[in-house]
Structure 1
Amino acid sequence: MSRSLENKLIESGIAVSQPDVAAPIETPWFVRAIQAFSGWLAALFLLGFIGMGAVFLLDSSVASAILGLMLIGGAYALLRQTHSDFLEHLALAASLAGQMLVAWALASVLGSTLGWDNAGLWWALLVLQAVLALVMPSLTHRTFSAFAACLAFYLAMVETASAPTMAGGLMLLGLTVLWLNEFRWPAHVRQLEALGYGLLLGLLAIQSVGYFGQSLLLGRYFVGSGLDWLEPWAGDALGLLALLLLLRHLFQRHAHAVEPGMRVATYTAVLLLALLSLEAHGLSHGAVVVALGFAIGHRGVMGFGGLLLLLSIGSYYYWLDVTLLAKAMTLFALGLLLLAIRWVLLCRWHTGASVAVEEGADA
């Protein structure tokens, strides 16, 4: 490797192993799991001891906020200095306790001034979790904070505009842009991946809750106000917009390899997906995540997309107002259709391979 290339890789934050340095031995996964469990157990005992002595602080919003910020600050300092799984999870538990204390203080202040049914608490928690997701020097903490920020954003949109599916669509747009620009900053690839996984977990959580007809507000459901007249098509429209952005990115990257006929077929498939989403809401979200994982070559993202597809199709099948016999016959017909499509594709593949072999023999 040339010296200039090695310097460029080091400046970009990519570690370059030297030939005379032995590769570090990684800790087995079961040892790391035991260390993480020990860290959470120690944190629970420690926080329980602190809680027994400081329970009177819950009566004061200022004292709760100060103690919570101190716990978050201590977790930040510990995470910057440690490379141990035990201490990392201990700091994570302390940070979660601090976040709960800060949330309690915010709820007390905003509830007493603006009323207990306002969305100010969720917007404030969204800002807190977004800041923690960006600054905390721990991939696990970044993932959890991004996940918590998604939930807070969902609840804020429900309380503010009565638009739960719009929240999911905006999250899908955000994670699409994030994963497509993953390698734009090579020194922060792992941090961006942690944020991406948090957004995927948040999207999966809120979509699952919506498919089962439940609410994250503990029995409270959004009322008809705000942007409820856009529901539930707003989320599907944003999902299709994310899919179009993804296709535009792919067509620009592979401009010379994509034929005009392929572009027409792709946009026709997008139109068909839009028509299907009018009935099976959320189908476009799973399709976008699957296409995104395939585009960036990430099997984990494709797995999340498969789960979203299964949830949306299963929800549509469960809530479909027809008899079980009609549902069974529909599944049977779909199975036959998929098998026929597989047979056609295999026949075309074998035909193309045979023609290629014959042309090679003639040459």
Structure 2
Amino acid sequence: MSRSITPLKERLGRAGIPVTEGDGEPALETPWFVRALQAFSGWLAALFLLGFVALGLFTVIEDSIAAGGFGLLLIGAAYGLLQTTPGDFREHLALAASLAGQMLVAWAAGNALGDMSASFWWSLLLLQVILALAMPSLTHRGFSAFAASLALYLALAEGVSAPSLAGGLVLLALTALWLNEFRWPARLRAVQALGYGLLLGLLAIQAMEYFGQSLLLGRYYMGTGLDWLEPWAGDALGMLALLLLLRYVFQHHAGAVAPFVRLAAYGAVAVLMLLSLQAHGLSHGAVVVVLGFAIGNRLVMGFGGLLLLLSISNYYYWLEATLLTKAMTLFALGVMMLAIRWAMRHGWRAGEAEGADQ
């Protein structure tokens, strides 16, 4: 038995998965309230430090080149701090310093470009992508993925007047990321942090779209570029993500899914596509729910439930119909979803029974 265990430990070690040696008790984790206090202390220390630096270098902010250089220096200092012994205090102190550096870089880029145009947001998107991939901090990676989602939204809104494209592209990216969650075992936590950041970004984008507000506080977009694709471009990309997700599930569970279940699933996709023509964003919530079910992640399913509630609430609010018609519509949607759930549960079990008999 020891001969079979040793190669397994070696393979897990090469994959970057730590294996506890001996029969000792595992190390106790730090209580959440202690970690929260350390995080608060890190932010408080960072605010005092940055306030002291700002008072001494106020003239630097007026110069775009100096502000950008000092911002990059702060980001580099945050990266170096994260390379040292890990801890909540250091992690949040580095995050605060990095955010200050990013604001200085954004200030310098805005002054250089003259306005918050599409080029400005594309440059910030590039910066956030680099930070999301390079920073050795899960919190920083998640925040950078979230900020990159918003920067993409603003870049597309300013450049081609198609903000719904951002939601569809973020949905495609997070679907591909979560489906390949275990492809790199050594980077599992980092991939999950990026995935949660993209989910938060998608939720923020959809919420702002539903409320009809601009992320730039009163600044709205002119009808130019690809505005004729609005608002169906995001729904089309959402349906594409759902089809790719179903294809992935059917390929990895070929023997457990009965043929009639596949037909029913594609039929549900067609019905959902028709519903999304009226209830925009419904497909995004459905994709995230199915994604969470496929990978067995209840938190992802929770995000999908929030997206579904947002899209249905938005459709319910703007629907030009009587309250009775609205109530009957919601009743029909609920019955349909319950029927799909019942068909998936029983069809999946029937497929597994047939595979076991063979």
TM-score (normalised: structure 1): 0.90
- Offset at 1:295? 0.1
- Offset at 1:345? 5.2
Residue identity matched to 2:247: R
Q: Please tell me whether the aligned partners of residues 110 and 116 of structure 2 are also in contact (alpha carbons under 8 angstroms).
A: no
Moved more, 84-93 or 139-148: 84-93
1:165 aligns with 2:164: yes
Matching residue of 2:94: 91
Q: Deviations over 1:310-332 (max 9, x none)?
A: 00000101111223354345446
Matching residue of 2:122: 123
SS at match of 1:183: coil
Q: Is the alpha carbon distance of 1:69 and 1:288 closer, same or farther for their aligned partners in structure 2, counting shifts above 3 Å?
A: same
Moved more, 247-256 or 19-28: 19-28
Matching residue of 1:64: 67
Q: Report 1:1-363 matches (<5 A).
A: 2-111=5-114, 116=115, 118-328=117-327, 330-331=329-330, 337=335
- Offset at 1:217? 2.0
User: RMSD over aligned Cα, in angstroms?
Assistant: 2.2
- Offset at 1:334? 5.7
Q: Is the alpha carbon distance of 1:266 and 1:63 closer, same or farther for their aligned partners in structure 2, counting shifts above 3 Å?
A: same
Residue identity matched to 1:8: R
Q: Please tell me whether the aligned partners of residues 65 and 101 of structure 1 are also in contact (alpha carbons under 8 angstroms).
A: yes
Give me the whole-angstrom Cα distance separating, in 1, the residues matched to 2:322 and 2:36. 47
Q: Is the alpha carbon distance of 1:280 and 1:89 closer, same or farther for their aligned partners in structure 2, counting shifts above 3 Å?
A: same
Q: Is the alpha carbon distance of 1:261 and 1:76 closer, same or farther for their aligned partners in structure 2, counting shifts above 3 Å?
A: same
Q: Is the alpha carbon distance of 1:326 and 1:186 closer, same or farther for their aligned partners in structure 2, counting shifts above 3 Å?
A: same
Give me the whole-angstrom Cα distance separating, in 2, the residues matched to 1:296 and 1:147. 21
Moved more, 216-225 or 19-28: 19-28
- Offset at 1:251? 0.8
SS at match of 2:27: coil
Residue identity matched to 2:52: F
Give me the whole-angstrom Cα distance separating, in 2, the residues matched to 1:78 and 1:10. 27
- Offset at 1:239? 0.2
- Offset at 1:256? 1.8
SS at match of 1:163: coil
Q: Deviations over 1:142-188 (max 9, x none)?
A: 00001001110110000111111111001100100000001111110
- Offset at 1:118? 2.4
Give me the whole-angstrom Cα distance separating, in 1, the residues matched to 2:339 and 2:108. 58
Q: Please tell me whether the aligned partners of residues 292 and 298 of structure 2 are also in contact (alpha carbons under 8 angstroms).
A: yes
Q: Is the alpha carbon distance of 1:164 and 1:252 closer, same or farther for their aligned partners in structure 2, counting shifts above 3 Å?
A: same
**Runs (5+) with no aligned partner, structure 2:** 354-358
Q: Deviations over 1:70-106 (max 9, x none)?
A: 1000000001103111111111100000000000000
Give me the whole-angstrom Cα distance separating, in 2, the residues matched to 1:270 and 1:102. 44
Aligned residue pairs total: 345
Q: Please tell me whether the aligned partners of residues 161 and 227 of structure 1 are also in contact (alpha carbons under 8 angstroms).
A: yes
Q: Which runs of 4+ in 1 moved over 6 A?
A: none
SS at match of 1:81: coil
Give me the whole-angstrom Cα distance separating, in 2, the residues matched to 1:123 and 1:59. 23
Residue identity matched to 1:310: L
Q: Which has the larger radius of gyration?
A: 1
TM-score (normalised: structure 2): 0.91
Moved more, 187-196 or 17-26: 17-26
**Runs (5+) with no aligned partner, structure 1:** 357-363
Q: Please tell me whether the aligned partners of residues 119 and 159 of structure 1 are also in contact (alpha carbons under 8 angstroms).
A: yes
Give me the whole-angstrom Cα distance separating, in 1, the residues matched to 2:208 and 2:284. 15
- Offset at 1:283? 0.1
Q: Is the alpha carbon distance of 1:4 and 1:345 closer, same or farther for their aligned partners in structure 2, counting shifts above 3 Å?
A: closer
Q: Please tell me whether the aligned partners of residues 82 and 88 of structure 1 are also in contact (alpha carbons under 8 angstroms).
A: no
SS at match of 2:16: coil
Q: Is the alpha carbon distance of 1:224 and 1:334 closer, same or farther for their aligned partners in structure 2, counting shifts above 3 Å?
A: closer
- Offset at 1:333? 6.2
Identity %: 67
Give me the whole-angstrom Cα distance separating, in 1, the residues matched to 2:163 and 2:60. 35
Give me the whole-angstrom Cα distance separating, in 1, the residues matched to 2:287 and 2:325. 29
Give me the whole-angstrom Cα distance separating, in 2, the residues matched to 1:272 and 1:345. 17
Give me the whole-angstrom Cα distance separating, in 1, the residues matched to 2:89 and 2:240. 43
